[in-house]
Structure 1
């Protein structure tokens, strides 16, 4: 499965599984962007992620951990 920036929930689930010790409420967008790009199934243009997309991923990740 190839992940794109629009796969917000799938990205959040992957990050939650790969970074269980990270509290997504306190991450910065530079780290979040890098972590998404490092996901093995991610294949999208790194420049397509704006603040809104990163906020959506962060919110989904927070929701995933509750």
Structure 2
């Protein structure tokens, strides 16, 4: 399975599992984008990511953390 930017929930789950020490409320988008692209299953064009995508990933990660 490969992850794309549209796989917001699965990305959030993997971030929550791989970065349990991180509070997603305080993640900046530069780090968030880098962490998503570093996920082993992530395979999408970096230019397809915008602020709205990162906001959605962060919101889903916050939901997962709560």
Specify if TM > 0.5.
yes
The aligned residue for residue 31 of structure 1 is 31
- Residue aligning to 2:60: 60
Q: Which residue does 1:4 correspond to in 2?
A: 4
Aligned residues: CA RMSD = 0.3
Aligned residues: 66
Runs of 4 or more above 6 Å deviation:
none
TM-score between the two structures when normalised by the length of structure 2? 0.99
SS of corresponding position for 1:52: helix
Structure 1 length as normaliser, TM-score?
0.99
Q: Secondary structure at the match of 2:21?
A: coil
